[in-house]
Amino acid sequence: MSHKAIRIGITSVVLALAFSGLLWSTLSEGTEYYKHVDEVTGDLAAWQDKNLQVHGFVVNESIMRRPDSLDYRFEIENNGEVIKAEYSGIVPDTFKSGAEVVVKGRLGVDGFVVAPNGVMAKCPSKYEPKAGSVPPGANVSDGQ
């Protein structure tokens, strides 16, 4: 085997290991699981201290706010399963009892700790098209 082939082989192995290490370190920090509340409550121990996005609905009358602060406590429900959540920060306008939400953070022993800017609430009725309206970009034939 020639000296040049050995150098190319060693260079290839080093580059492959460097790329694999970079990929592993990037993915291990940034990986987030997207789960529904009932999927998480099925095995709480397996999801503790992992980055999660949890989807569900705010339980009616469960939103509590500490006076003179932006600290919230509320419950998220899906298919009869409930998780308690804590959040400190500004919530979206559509965040209210019964709203569909996705919260981003970590599951702890006492419930879900929502990360800063980790509350996303939606109001489906607000974004549904009106009856008879045509969605943008739809191909409408004018009969010609």
- Residues 6 or more apart in contact with residue 123 via CB below 8 angstroms: 94, 99, 100
Q: How many CA atoms within 13 Å lie on the side-chain side of 18?
A: 6
- Count structural domains, the chain: 1
> Is 78 inside any structural domain?
yes
pTM above threshold 0.75: no
> Is 93 inside any structural domain?
yes
Which domain covers residue 74, as residue numbers? 30-127
Q: What is the secondary structure of 31-91 as a DSSP string?
A: --EEEEHHHHHTTHHHHBTSEEEEEEEEPTT--EE-TTS-EEEEEEEETTEEEEEEEESPP
> Is 15 inside any structural domain?
no
> Is 119 inside any structural domain?
yes
> Is 136 inside any structural domain?
no
pLDDT of the chain along its 144 residues, tens only?
A: 788 889 999 999 999 999 998 888 777 666 778 889 989 888 888 888 888 899 999 998 888 989 888 899 999 999 889 999 999 998 888 888 888 999 999 988 888 999 898 898 876 555 555 666 555 655 555 544
> Is 8 inside any structural domain?
no
CATH code of residue 77: 2.40.50.140
